[in-house]
Amino acid sequence: MRVLIPSALRSYTESMWTEARGATLAAVLDDLDRLYPGIRFRMIDEQNRIRPHIRFFVAGNQARDLAQALDPNDELLIVQALSGG
C-alpha cells in the first residue's frame, strides 16, 4: 500500500511516499514502524489510541479505528495538524 507521510514525520522516511503492508490500519502502522523504528509512537499513544493531532484517510474517508480493514490497492494518507503559537 502506498502511504503519504506528513512533512513532520519525513525525518523517519526521508521521503513523501513510502510503501507498507497490512490488512488493517494497525498492521500497516506496525509495518511502517518495522521499516522506520519509532514512527508509530508519533501517531499512536501508549493506550494504543490515535493521537489527537493525527488523521488517517483511506480512499478519501477518515479512518478512525485501528482495526479498520484496508485493501492493498488503497492509498493511506497520514495528516498531522500543526500546533503551537
- Under the banding of pLDDT at 50, 70 and 90, the label for residue 81 is confident
pTM for the structure as a whole: 0.92
Q: Please give the Cα distance from 85 to 71 (Å, whole number).
A: 38
- Under the banding of pLDDT at 50, 70 and 90, the label for residue 85 is low
Q: Are 54 and 47 in contact (CB under 8 A)?
A: no
Domain at 51, CATH number:
3.10.20.30
Closest CA to 27 of 40, 17, 38, 18: 40
Whole domain around residue 13: which residue ranges? 2-80
Closest CA to 1 of 63, 85, 64, 54: 63
Residue 23 belongs to a domain? yes
Q: How many domains does the chain have?
A: 1
Q: Is pLDDT at 18 greater than 70 in this prediction?
A: yes
Q: Is pLDDT at 84 greater than 90 in this prediction?
A: no
Mean pLDDT (whole number) for 7-29? 97
